[in-house]
A and B are shown apart, each in its own frame.
Chain A
Amino acid sequence: MRRVTEATKRRTTAFLISSAIVGFACLAGLPPANSNSFLRVSLLEARQSAGSSPKSSVASGKQSKPNAQGENVANTKKEHAFRGRVEKVDPQTHMLTIDGENVPGWMAAMTMNYRMDNPGSVIVKPGDRIIATVYDGDFTTLHNVRVVATGSATAVIKTNDLPPISYVCSSPGEESVLEDKPGKCPISGKPMTPLRLVTVYSCLKFQSFIQENPGVCPVDKSELVPITTALYFTCKGDSGARSLQPGTCSDGSARVKTYERRPHGDHNPRHGGQFFMADDSWHHLEGTWVKPNILRVYFYNDMTQPLAITGFSANAVKSDGNGNEIGAPVPLRQGQTNDHNVLELAVPGTTLPANFALRVKFKPSDKERVFDFTFADYSKEPGPAAVANGAQASTTAAFPAGSSSASNQPSQPAASGQQSEAYVPSTIKQEAPLPTTIPELLAELGKRAQSVKTALDQGDLTGLWYPAIGAKDVALALEENHSNEVPEAKRPQLDSAVRRLTMAAWQIDAAGDLGNKEKVLPLYQDFAAAVADVESVYEAR
């Protein structure tokens, strides 16, 4: 039985991405190599507040400048006010690299190269804030460039503490593209959209509720779940004002942190089941095993929204713990629930643990995708969290911009109070320190390896990565810090075992995400053998 593979998709995207990068570099006039700093927004780059330039100084007068074809663009094209910060000036070409703010209807906030229509008339240098006029259809020329006084930094969030800027695509089929520098989307060719990705917490079933920290959902009292969102700074009463930087709004108020859900930002199972993403990166499904012995599968899109099952077909076959199928496949039917995204199958007589291979087609002509499920117990719908200390939802709760429910909520949190706090990047987690002695490390290795086995036994394929990667870290720490305490003759064995363990752990991480038990099992055997070899080297000292 062969499981789904991403090879075909990857083959295509590899070309597309490479082409996009090369193409973008060419468009931007980049040298072919080692030119990253030219356009790339450094992850830790400190930036001025984008909102600090005085609005009153924005150019308003129309310019009559011919474009490359000799057209008088001012007469024929709509003009826009452009603001940005100069990052680089090329003295040879007079090209400017500008970190530009969002210009509604013209271009999103982005670092780009521009030429000036009047390069000799104004002197600009890196760090200057500028204003200029731009015209529809011309994304490369800044007209009437003027340097403005550097505004006082009224916003005091340390922008270098913000999450790094990433660049994404929003067109269908490109939602999973993520780059750390600007460019064009590989399929649509549209400019990529900049945003900041951050992990925050949300109600499982009430997606509009989002807050920065873990807690309890105020609606159903369930435990909040982590999700990945885009972070923006917005202005009250101006839904169109979205900035990647903190700062001040036109009315003088501080911009407000706002979180927006992202595709693939929430892979938390909604019904206590096991959640997988199909290799098309759009369909997601959650398998549950509910009384009385019903295999119930929920389908979602990439935003974890219920997905109508029109055209879907699926069948399931029991399997043993090793993924070997037992008996004939049986088709699933539309679920007998109020949900419209459910296919299900009654499998009477099944005992726990229940193992199934689920074969799914998302349309009749589609390829068949296989997902392995192992249910150690019946799935349990998430309920109210066990709150020991009467924890309440944080007062910093926020609702995503554009959410239909946002306007119905009583408050927009995280306003000016948060603006004065240093932002702690949340995407790079601080690891808990590992123990230091050999016995402690071996105990930790054994514990994490057992967690891998338990997750595998329970069919929690998407949960394998955490203990597997953790076990790898312990093994690396053992080799790095304690290889000298192993007899010299045994060190090659240790080196070999740690290497095999490291490779297996990362491969388990990848295979587990695809719900591919057939692929995971031999990797686990490699992993377990390597763990045993590490242990035996130290135990034989």
Chain B
Amino acid sequence: MKHGRGFGRAFAPCAALVFAAALALVLGTGRTNAHTPVTSRFDYNKDVFPRLRDHCAACHVPGGAAPMSLVTYAAAMPWAESIRDELTAGRMPPWPVDPTSPAVKGGDRISPGDIDVIVVWASGGTPESYTDAKPAEVSFHGGWKLGPPDLKIPMNMEHTVGSSITEEVSDFSLSANVTDAKWVKAADLLPGNASIVRDAVISIENGPVLALWQPGAETMVAPSGAAFQLPVGAKIHLQIHYKKHFDQEQNSLSDKSTVGLYFTDPPPSGHELQAFAISPAANVPASNDSLSFGAVLPNAAQIVALRPMLDRAYRFVEIDAQTPSGATVPLLRLHGPRPQWFRRYWLQKPVKLATGSKIAVRVTPLADYSDEPMVTRKFPLQVVLDYVPL
């Protein structure tokens, strides 16, 4: 009836894929239709494996956060249709920064050519190999992404997710035990059980959010001159979203994760990073129309990062600054962001805005939510700007 086709080219990086598991479970199947003979000119070993390794293996690897490995043919082939669905819908890899956006640090955007190669393969009979190419073995690399942290703060005890629970959000209060105030440039999490730690929010109790942690994502360092202050006696609030793989649901599983903090010198300005949250008016009903909202910055600021927290998937999220002089300065452009992949987007070039600048947010819903998986990890719609006061 139809045949996969297309021409391939090259690739880039992916992040974590935990949620793909559930997603693939809902959407996917390990079979192709009987009227789909092998039509793909791309094979797994030579064409598809390198792309999956580069973009997906941070999580989709044995022992990784995702419930299925994609780094061997036997493991990946049954998920071909799910892979196709996730890629073409833009749910995977979970890096929604549009090429037209102001540059953002880190991330791993997959090129259209790479999407095409994988989808042609997934649609065209999933051939394993036309050549002698053999995929190299890929293993899971757990560990501190920035190297050993200056301060490790383990959970006080193991936390167990019981056999009757498949998903939960748990909060932990951890003593930092610092004897003098510190300045934090980065925070990371080392899961005790990588297969169930789906995401985490690391913050100082009653203070700033230090990190939005996602499996497979790079750990970012605040730019020079920007840092969070960790006072003496401060406690760390660690919120972990646990979610079991589909094949773990009947098991009782435990985790004892560790927060890692990286310190830096006090910023020259003496100011710590501050946050400015923008939300739509209360009780805005979900509709298919675009929604615009905004707020005026309270003071002059250098914007270093943005944190869109979403209530559902969107087709586009556009965040601009409108300066008092009337100029529009783009801050962030996202295409197809999903709420479960919340993260802090560090701007490669921080943006200085004068007092009175207005931040404008426009969110455009998806045209069709029928194929979207049910998401439990979502937030009231809000955009948070991290800035250094000027």
Contacts and interface: CB of A to CB of B under 8 A. Distances in A.
Contact of A506 (B84, B99, B100, B367): B84
B125 interface: yes
A473 B62 contact: no
B29 A17 contact: yes
Interface stretch (A119-127, A324-332, A362-370, A425-433): A425-433
Contacts of A507: 88-89
Interface string B15-57: 0000000001111111111111111110100000000000000
Contacts of B111: 495, 499
Given A35-B74, A502-B116, A13 B1 contact: no
Given A2-B370, A472-B116, A495-B112, A43 B74 contact: no
A44 B41 CA distance: 13
A34 B30 contact: no
Interface stretch (A53-61, A212-220, A442-450, A474-482): A474-482
The interface size bin for chain A is: 35 or more
A269 B128 CA distance: 33
A519 B37 contact: no
B81 A10 contact: yes
Given A10-B28, A34-B137, A477-B7, A495 B130 contact: no
Interface in A5-24: 5-7, 9-11, 13-18, 21
A35 B119 CA distance: 24
A281 interface: yes
Interface residues of B, number: 68
A503 interface: yes
B141 interface: no
A492 B97 CA distance: 11
A521 B27 CA distance: 21
A33 B112 contact: no
Given A228-B35, A502-B116, A509 B2 contact: yes
B382 interface: no
A428 B30 CA distance: 22
B74 to A, nearest CB: 5
B72 to A, nearest CB: 5
A470 to B, nearest CB: 8
B364 to A, nearest CB: 11
B289 interface: no
Contact of A34 (B7, B9, B72): B72
B90 interface: yes
Contact of B33 (A16, A176, A525): A176
B5 interface: yes
Contacts of A166: 37-38, 125
Given A10-B27, A493-B99, A506-B119, A267 B6 contact: no
B36 A178 contact: yes
A6 B130 CA distance: 32
Given A164-B38, A228-B34, A503-B89, 16 more contacts: A2-B370, A5-B371, A14-B28, A14-B79, A16-B30, A35-B74, A44-B130, A179-B31, A228-B35, A262-B35, A267-B1, A465-B2, A476-B9, A499-B111, A499-B112, A506-B88
Interface string A495-534: 1101111110011011001000011001101100000000
Interface string B230-253: 000000000000000010000000
Contact of A503 (B72, B88, B98, B113): B88
A7 B374 CA distance: 12
Contact of B34 (A40, A263, A473): A263
Given A43-B130, A476-B7, A14 B82 contact: yes
15 contacts: A7-B26, A10-B26, A14-B28, A18-B30, A21-B78, A43-B38, A163-B37, A262-B35, A264-B33, A429-B3, A429-B39, A462-B1, A472-B116, A479-B113, A525-B367
A477 B62 CA distance: 36
Main secondary structure of the interface of A (DSSP, over half): helix
B19 to A, nearest CB: 15
A522 B366 CA distance: 9
A247 interface: no
Contacts of A36: 72-74, 128
A473 B69 CA distance: 29
B129 interface: yes
A403 interface: no
**4 shortest interchain CB distances as A-B pairs:** A17-B30, A522-B367, A264-B35, A492-B99
B349 to A, nearest CB: 15
B185 interface: no
A265 B2 CA distance: 10
A498 B30 CA distance: 29
Contacts of A263: 34-35
A2 B370 CA distance: 8
Interface in B334-383: 335, 367-368, 370-371
A493 B100 contact: yes
Interface string B78-108: 1101101101111000000011110000000
Contacts of B43: 43
A168 interface: yes
A222 interface: no
A496 B30 contact: no
Contacts of B335: 496, 499-500
A40 to B, nearest CB: 6
Interface string B149-189: 00000000000000000000000000000000000000000
A2 to B, nearest CB: 6
A228 B37 contact: yes
Contact of A14 (B24, B72, B88): B24
B100 A14 contact: no
Nearest to A38: B74
B75 interface: yes
Contacts of B27: 7, 10-11
A33 B60 CA distance: 13
B29 A427 contact: no
Interface string A177-203: 111100000100000000001110000
Contacts of B367: 522-523, 525-526
Interface in A37-86: 40, 42-44
B126 interface: yes
B370 A17 contact: no
Contacts of B6: 469, 472-473, 476
Contact of A513 (B2, B28, B79, B113): B2
Given A33-B69, A499-B99, A180 B130 contact: no
A25 interface: yes
B30 A499 contact: no
Given A34-B135, A476-B6, A18 B78 contact: yes
Contact of A428 (B28, B38, B88, B90): B38
B34 A168 contact: yes
A495 B99 contact: yes
A473 B5 contact: yes
Interface in B182-229: none
B78 A198 contact: no
Interface string B271-301: 0000000000000000000000000000000
B309 interface: no
A113 to B, nearest CB: 15
B304 to A, nearest CB: 21
A466 to B, nearest CB: 8
Contacts of A525: 367
A197 B35 CA distance: 9
B128 A42 contact: yes
B331 interface: no
Contacts of A44: 129-130
A456 to B, nearest CB: 15
A473 B115 CA distance: 12
B38 A5 contact: no
B121 to A, nearest CB: 12
A175 interface: yes
B25 A11 contact: yes
B260 interface: no
A510 to B, nearest CB: 7
